[in-house]
Amino acid sequence: MLDPTRSEHVVSGPLLVPPTEEEVDAASFRDVLANAPFRSLWIAQICSQLAQNLTWITLGAFVANQTHKSTLVSVIIVSAMMAQLFLSGFAGVLVDRVSKRAVLFSSNVIRIVLTMLFLAATPIDVAAQTTVIIVLIFIANAVSQFFMPAEAATIPLLVEKRNLIAATSLFNITFNACQVIPVTLGLLIFDLVGIVPVLIMVGGLYLVAAVLVSTLPAQTTLSRPMHGADSLREAADHVIGDVREALRFLSHEPGVRLTIFQINVAPTFLFIFGTLGLTFVQQTFGLASDRAWILLLPAGVGLVGGALLMGRFSARARKEDLINIGLLIMGAGIAVLGGVAVLTSVVNGASQRVTGFITSHIHHMGAYNIGLIPPAMVISLLIGVAMAMSTIPAQTLVFERTPSDVRGRILAMQQLIGGAAPIIPLLTIAPLADVFGTSSVMTGLGVAIVLVGTLSVYLDHHLHRGRPRLL
């Protein structure tokens, strides 16, 4: 989508193929940031991504505080993901036919209006409020499906071809940072100031993005004649054709199938962890759900730190081994995190009975199990590092094992699977957490990921010996 002359950089959405060090050296970040129109687009991306992800996480924490139900938080996240699943493929094709500047501007304006509706929903009845939030989250993320491909398609219109690698690398770095920051610092801000100031800040970020993209030059306004029915049919044919070609390639490549399976374990868990974490801190430490940043912040730090280290380790170690070790460490860490909380809960319950205290009264005494917080933060940090170990080498293997003429389609398929994979776990695990408690479910989830890691070791062993097995 970025440069039709180089298929290895054609992707669906924000997932960009990382360049080699030699390519990045050819054009530095300083060169592209000296380009004023590109700089405006880049800052608009940061503002838009921060605003979008802040909306997700803080409204999830707000609903968790209001209802104390993990299920409703998971429904909010699934609502957003369904918009991505249904519209991402069509949006990329339709955006190619219209003014990029108009799409970028109008999508930000629409999301400003939606943010005002989110604000209007905060004081109403909890049941109606949650319903409105779920519907508006779906609409907001549907709008963002048009913003992202329009943004990616605008980059080659603003920079010279020799600077394209540096430009896309910069966008990729900030895209990933804008995912981690709201999940960590965003919850901390929400904890300090509440939902209304956060939503006002979100609206302000969208406003800055709208102003910046409105200044983009004339070449971003070019469009082709578009007829609704023909464009929808073209989009459908394009998406179906890409899916068929990707499936045809994957049917003959068990190694790539395994890698795509592995690469989606950590992101799926991250969505679940973000959902369960809001009630986990309530049930385990007696803290408000908006203090889930206590666990999510170390995980984010570990993920970023692990990403920085993987460049060195993946060059020296076998990537498949790093992936498998990462999955096993991640599963073990999650199981320990949940298991310690379950054990402490049992011990506390027995202690309360012996001393004559009533369990229900402890919730009026504020936070408890405080001694568990530091080790839980350390475990969360290790889980973040393990997620980087399982995803970054796996993504590298996908790039290495797919030829350039189908790579864009495989990456699009990877994103499609990544959007669909968390939906069923979110809709099943969160209700189980409401029934059995988040600690018990977290323990079971960790054991399940250890089993997935064990299966991954088994499949990799047979592939390495030249006897591939179907997933």
What the block records as the tokens of 208 is 């800055």
How far are the Cα atoms of 127, 184, 191, 217 from residue 187, in angstroms, in the given order? 23, 6, 6, 37
Q: What is the pLDDT of residues 285-310, one digit of tens each?
A: 777 766 777 887 888 788 778 877 77
Which ranges of 68-184 does DSSP label H, i.e. alpha helix? Answer: 70-95, 100-121, 126-158, 164-181
Put residue 356 in one of left, alpha, beta given phi > 0 → left and psi -120 to 50 → alpha. Answer: left
Angle at 82 between CA 80 and CA 88, to 5 degrees: 95
Q: Measured between alpha carbons, how far is 155 from 209 in angstroms, rounded to an integer?
A: 16
pLDDT at 176 over 70: no
Highest mean pLDDT out of 28-32, 153-157, 212-216, 283-287? 212-216
pLDDT at 100 over 90: no
- CATH domain 1-226 topology: Growth Hormone; Chain: A; (1.20.1250)
Q: Measured between alpha carbons, how far is 48 from 223 in angstroms, rounded to an integer?
A: 23
Predicted local confidence at residue 144, as pLDDT = 84
pTM of the model: 0.65
* 318 contacts 103 by C-beta, under 8 angstroms: no
The CATH number of the structural domain formed by 253-471 is 1.20.1250.20
What the block records as the tokens of 184 is 């960590």
Q: Measured between alpha carbons, how far is 231 from 449 in angstroms, rounded to an integer?
A: 42
Determine the average pLDDT of the residues in 426-449. Answer: 85
- Domain spans of the chain, in order of start: 1-226, 253-471
Same fold, 1-226 and 253-471: yes
Higher pLDDT, 409 or 426: 426
Angle at 249 between CA 394 and CA 327, to 5 degrees: 20
Which of 315-321's residues contact partners 24+ apart within 8 Å by CB, and which partners? 319/393, 319/394, 319/396, 319/397, 320/393, 320/397, 320/460, 320/464
How far are the Cα atoms of 29, 163, 165 from residue 24, in angstroms, in the given order? 8, 9, 6
**C-alpha torsion sign, points 60, 65, 67, 70:** positive
Q: What is the pLDDT of residues 196-220, one digit of tens each?
A: 999 999 999 999 999 999 998 887 7
What secondary structure letter does DSSP report for 3? -
What confidence tier does 108 reach under pLDDT thresholds 50, 70, 90?
very high
Which ranges of 182-225 does DSSP label H, i.e. alpha helix? Answer: 187-193, 195-214
Determine the residue type at 138. F
What the block records as the tokens of 274 is 């973000």
What the block records as the tokens of 463 is 């592939």
Contacts of 57 (CB under 8 A, 6+ apart): 182, 183, 186, 187, 190, 274
